[in-house]
Amino acid sequence: MKNPWLQIPACDYEAHMALPEVAQTQALSKLMASVLKEYTPASLAVIGCTTGSGFEHIDHAHTHRAVGVDVNAAYLAVLKERFSDKIPHLELIEADITAPDFEFNPVSMVFAALVFEYVNVEVALGNIARCLAPGAVLVVVLQLPTPESAPVTATRYKSLELLAPILNLVSPSEFSRMCNTFGLQQIKTDSIPLKKGKAFFVGFYRKNTELSVPPDRLRSR
Ligand SMILES: C[S@@+](CC[C@H](N)C(=O)[O-])C[C@H]1O[C@@H](n2cnc3c(N)ncnc32)[C@H](O)[C@@H]1O
């Protein structure tokens, strides 16, 4: 089955997310700004980066390498157009994060907002965990369930309705448990209230540093 994300025009997605009744672009961009300020990662990967919302907060004085990953090449083309002259060392990867060969050189932070809802969580998380350097931080945004509103808010941008059949909300506790199995320890959690009773869960996880040095080298120290 073709990924429905490939059928959603960038302009529909951006307009939908920015509508006052959705207002998720603003919330996610603000979160990215605060996370980058708090951790000043030397390298960053944004998974499900779409057209680069939040990339304006990347300060290349601190973050020397920025990676954007998305399955939709048209989104990445918009991102490139907007940011390639502002962010040196921008790497854009068109890939399915659940593919068996998915990987990129490890980074010190991965930011993944509203993407685990559309994939096999265990497979994607395992792949992403391999792309985190020891001690690196994973920041994840998950959409929380609400009785007041459908997971995809109905707006005039009808193409977004293609997502309903593949959208599965992810339980934060189940996600944290899976993180543990991939050597990612929860540092803290937060929540962001939104319009129409919606809210985001934000989880921060640190990759174990143990075994980052091979055991034989540890013995000789
Ligand atoms: C809800 S959007 C993410 C929101 C975005 N982070 C923002 O700040 O607006 C989900 C993104 O994940 C991408 N995506 C969905 N499934 C994917 C997959 N299997 N591999 C890579 N990217 C995927 C979509 O193309 C889309 O750009």
The token duo for 125 is 């998380």
End-to-end CA distance of the chain: 53
Q: Encode pLDDT of 39-60 as tens digits.
A: 999 999 999 999 999 999 999 9
CA of 68 to the centre of ligand 1 (A): 10
Handedness of CA 131, 39, 18, 168 (dihedral sign): positive
Which pLDDT band, with edges at 50, 70 and 90, does 31 fall under? very high
> Rounded to the nearest whole angstrom, what is the distance from the C-alpha of residue 108 to the centroid of ligand 1?
20
Enumerate the domain spans of the chain. 4-219
User: Which residue from 91, 55, 93 is spatially nearest to 73, judged by alpha carbons?
Assistant: 93
Q: Is the pTM of this model over 0.95?
A: no
pLDDT tens for 152-193 read 677 777 888 888 888 999 999 999 999 999 999 999 999 999
CATH of 4-219, one of 3.40.50.1000, 3.40.120.10, 3.40.50.150, 1.10.286.10: 3.40.50.150
